[in-house]
Amino acid sequence: MSVFTTVTTEQLQAWLKHYPLGALLELKGIASGITNTNYFVTTDTGRFVLTLFEKNTPDELPYFLDLMAHLADHGIPCPHPIANTNGDYLGELNGKPAALVSCLRGGSLETPNAAHCAEMGKVLALMHKAGMNFPQHAENPRGPHWWNTTAATLLPFLDAQERAMLESELAYQATFRHSELPRGVIHADMFRDNVLFDGETLTGLIDFYYACNDALAYDLAITVNDWCVHADGSFDQARLEAMLTAYHRERPLTEAEKQAWPALLRGAALRFWLSRLYDKHHPQPGELTHAKDPAHFRRILALHTQNNPNIQALLA
């Protein structure tokens, strides 16, 4: 979602000869985000998003692209990959794996209200249900193993208080095993900037490039941690209740998921604290980059640790 690899108009015109999309009218870099290179591409047949994958290998990418096609074909509002003249979703541009997907209407929200959160909860549950018959499988590349290996590279950069907090949370998370929880396809990065709205209607789920198979309620915890908190990291109870209730209505949470909720919230906060710390201390050069503040998720994790939020009362 940042521009790390430059693509010129001439390069893209040559590449688009392998797609039935007509003539190129505009190429515009997308500056938000931190992982892949993205451009808006407008041709005389429509508007698309071009992604050049900076970290994923060609072997990893069919899972994401086939998943988006599967979900879109099952009524989930997400981009549909565009096949080239050989019938392939994945190509190569400037030495990087690359793909084009449809561009959906709407925009992301800075300050969602309770109605937006209810819509997000409903569509997230529907996405989880639609993914149940997706035949491919991918382990979560940013699960507990990644937490521990990444933490080891970050400890030298942290002060004593942060080191103690990180080591304590890793030890806490090591006591949990979530294999008994319902599992399936998760988005794993359902932040506000990855969801499009037109008014109070959700029009698009985007950026599926962290999608994987994991505990479904973990995906809900990731989403809640972004959509339902104030700037200080504390929960907005109205937004939280709206999202959880709407999700639960479409895919009722099991008793095991309810019991695991505090640990899932903490694990979701830990994962993004670590990734933001990593991007801060091991930055990747790029033309248009946007690093995010790791302190935000440190505050969220600290509040979850203190408050031990109870999902039972909200769904009673």
Q: What is the pLDDT of residues 192-248, one digit of tens each?
A: 999 999 999 999 999 999 999 999 999 999 999 999 999 999 999 999 999 999 999
CB neighbours of 179 closer than 8 A, spacing ≥ 6? none
Least Cα distance to 144 among 215, 208, 211, 206 occurs for 215
Please check whether residue 238 is in contact with residue 311, taking contact to mean a CB–CB distance below 8 angstroms: no
Residue 93's pLDDT band, with cuts at 50, 70 and 90, is very high
User: What is the reported pLDDT for 307?
Assistant: 83
Which residue type does 23 have? A
User: What is the reported pLDDT for 313?
Assistant: 73
In whole angstroms, give the CA distance from residue 116 to residue 132: 25
What six digits make up the tokens of 121? 């909860």
Residue with tokens 């794996």: 97
What is the side-by-side strand order in the sheet with 24-29?
24-29, 37-43, 46-52, 96-102, 91-93
% of the chain with per-residue pLDDT over 70: 96
% of the chain with per-residue pLDDT over 90: 86
What residues pair up with 102 in beta bridges, in sequence order?
Answer: 48
- Across the range 124-147, mean pLDDT stands at 97
In whole angstroms, give the CA distance from residue 175 to residue 179: 13
pLDDT digits (tens, 9 = 90+) for 10-67: 999 999 999 999 999 999 998 765 678 999 999 999 999 999 999 889 999 999 999 9
Over 60: is that where the pLDDT of 1 sits?
A: no
User: What is the reported pLDDT for 288?
Assistant: 44
What mean pLDDT, rounded, does the chain reach?
Answer: 93
Q: Is the dihedral of CA 198, 204, 206, 211 positive or negative?
A: positive
User: What is the reported pLDDT for 2?
Assistant: 62
Residue 286's pLDDT band, with cuts at 50, 70 and 90, is low
Which residue type does 295 have? A
What residues pair up with 46 in beta bridges, in sequence order?
Answer: 43
User: What is the reported pLDDT for 305?
Assistant: 93
**Which position has the higher pLDDT, 292 or 165?**
165
Q: Taking the domains of the chain in order of start, what are their residue ranges?
A: 9-102, 114-314
CATH of 114-314, one of 3.90.1200.10, 1.20.1560.10, 3.30.365.10, 3.90.226.10: 3.90.1200.10
Residue 310's pLDDT band, with cuts at 50, 70 and 90, is confident
- Across the range 125-135, mean pLDDT stands at 98
HEC string of the chain equals CCECCCCCHHHHHHHHHHCCCCCEEEEEECCCCCCCEEEEEEECCEEEEEEECCCCCCCCHHHHHHHHHHHHHCCCCCCCECCCCCCCCCEEECCEEEEEEECCCCECCCCCCHHHHHHHHHHHHHHHHHHHHCCCCCECCCCHHHHHHHHHHHHHHCCHHHHHHHHHHHHHHCCCCCCCCCEEEECCCCCHHHEEEECCEEEEECCCCCCEEEEHHHHHHHHHHHHCECCCCCECHHHHHHHHHHHHHHCCCCHHHHHHHHHHHHHHHHHHHHHHHHHHHCCCCCCECCCCCCHHHHHHHHHHHHHCCCHHHHCC
- Domain 9-102: assigned CATH number: 3.30.200.20
- Across the range 260-287, mean pLDDT stands at 90
Residue 283's pLDDT band, with cuts at 50, 70 and 90, is confident
Q: In Å, how far are 59, 80, 103, 177 from 55, measured between CA atoms?
A: 12, 21, 22, 28
- Across the range 176-181, mean pLDDT stands at 85
- Across the range 81-97, mean pLDDT stands at 96
Residue 287's pLDDT band, with cuts at 50, 70 and 90, is very low
User: What is the reported pLDDT for 103?
Assistant: 94
- Across the range 90-119, mean pLDDT stands at 96
- Across the range 277-303, mean pLDDT stands at 82
